[in-house]
Amino acid sequence: MNLRSFTCKVVLVLVLIGMVAGTVQPLKAGDVSVASSPLLKTPCDYYSYWKQKYLNPSVRFPGDWKVNYNGKGATVSEAIGYGMLITALMADKDSESKKYFDGLNSFRKRFPSSINPAFMCWKIPPHERPGKNDCATDGELDIAYALLLAHERWGDEAYLAEAKSLIRAIGSSLVRTDFSLRLGDWNEVPGQTRPSDFMPTHFRAFGKVTGDPLWKKVETRSYDILKELQLEKFYAGNKTTGLIPDFAVQKNGHWVPARSGFLEGRHDGDFYYNACRVPWRLGWAALASPDKGDDRANEVLGRFMRWAVMNVKDPEQFKAGYRLDGKPVYNSDFDTACFISPTGVAAMALGMESWKAKVERYALGSREEYYEDSINLLCLILMSGQSPGFIRQDSPQ
């Protein structure tokens, strides 16, 4: 659930106090900077910044941790999933990462969905006493994949057992009989999905560890929906942009962009704050394949990046939202890492080194809020090549 409206950014200048052995001194929670502030040198430095600003101890459960979603201590399952991915990916760079990972994992299990207790309640208020609430699919997918990463990094079989249990629950409750993904355990209406939940890297890993052929079908269905959204002619203007909408619905047997106001706001059918993650998710899938051999991911990314190079031309000129015909949405005339950094992962997968290098430099200088900074860090980790971020996988079929 990612309802966000953006107004003008109000930022404070971040002062970096000295350098020690090539790393940045720890930052105080709440520090933020304008893009022109000194660059952090590496993804490890950005991780230090992110950790200090967003990783908070639970106010009720000693030893538990949460990711501060709104600056006031609330969190969501999406944020917990990002935190678990980040701490697992940084395991070889941070000796305390396992402590944080285990604390996040413990925290999320304390707040089950009121519909399916196998999942986390999607939003937890600052006082950590939520009412009844349901789950969001993206958080559960990331949490399950993070548990597999944890098993690979730290070797504890308990992580693998927990991952398999959660994967089974996702397969039985969040995947429809046509292998499309529900929006959450609350979503009973057929023919509704969110393309940013399409995570082929995760689906392949789920299939590998469980032996369940379901996940290959989910991956195939996801790519089929993406291709249909990019190429079909039932709405004008999108054939050459490759842009994907925030939400998609089935209409007369076709997958089409959701109408304005479908779930989160006026831009539900635009390339906006959900769909901006698609280039990261598919770029990750391509990079995770042997020899970058995911042709389906590369095809989707190729259509999108051809439009970006021809029309946006420079990563820093990428706007904060587009209609599917390529025109910027209203009030989008600013740069933000959650749109720009995923294009760097896509460029890396496609061998577009110049674009990727520009994105990487931009990303190291970006300081925003939880959502933007978390996606930015996850993209930086992949672009650095220092932590591959995937379970050993076979070539996609």
pLDDT, tens digit (0-9, with 9 covering 90-100), for 216-241: 999 999 999 999 999 865 455 555 79
392 assigned to some structural domain: no
Query: Considering 78, 128, 268, 360, which one is annotated as catalytic?
Result: 78
Range 121-139 average pLDDT: 97
217 assigned to some structural domain: yes
In the residue annotation, 138 being an active-site residue is answered as yes
When pLDDT is cut at 50, 70 and 90, the band that residue 323 belongs to is very high
307 assigned to some structural domain: yes
158 assigned to some structural domain: yes
Tell me the two tokens of residue 341.
Answer: 């950094």
86 assigned to some structural domain: yes
Q: What per-residue confidence (pLDDT) applies to 34?
A: 31
- Residue 18 confidence (pLDDT) above 70: no
Provide the CATH number for the domain around residue 69: 1.50.10.10
Number of domains in the chain: 1
Q: What per-residue confidence (pLDDT) applies to 328?
A: 97
Taken in order 289, 277, 94, 148, the sign of the CA dihedral is negative
Query: Considering 138, 264, 268, 372, which one is annotated as catalytic?
Result: 138
Boundaries of domain holding 129? 19-384
Q: What per-residue confidence (pLDDT) applies to 80?
A: 98
pLDDT digits (tens, 9 = 90+) for 324-378: 999 999 999 999 999 999 999 999 999 999 999 999 999 999 999 999 999 999 9
253 assigned to some structural domain: yes
Q: What's the whole-model pTM score?
A: 0.89
Share of the chain above pLDDT 70, in %: 84
> What does pLDDT average to over the chain?
88
Tell me the two tokens of residue 317.
Answer: 């000129």
In the residue annotation, 270 being an active-site residue is answered as no
14 assigned to some structural domain: no
Q: What per-residue confidence (pLDDT) applies to 123?
A: 97
6 assigned to some structural domain: no
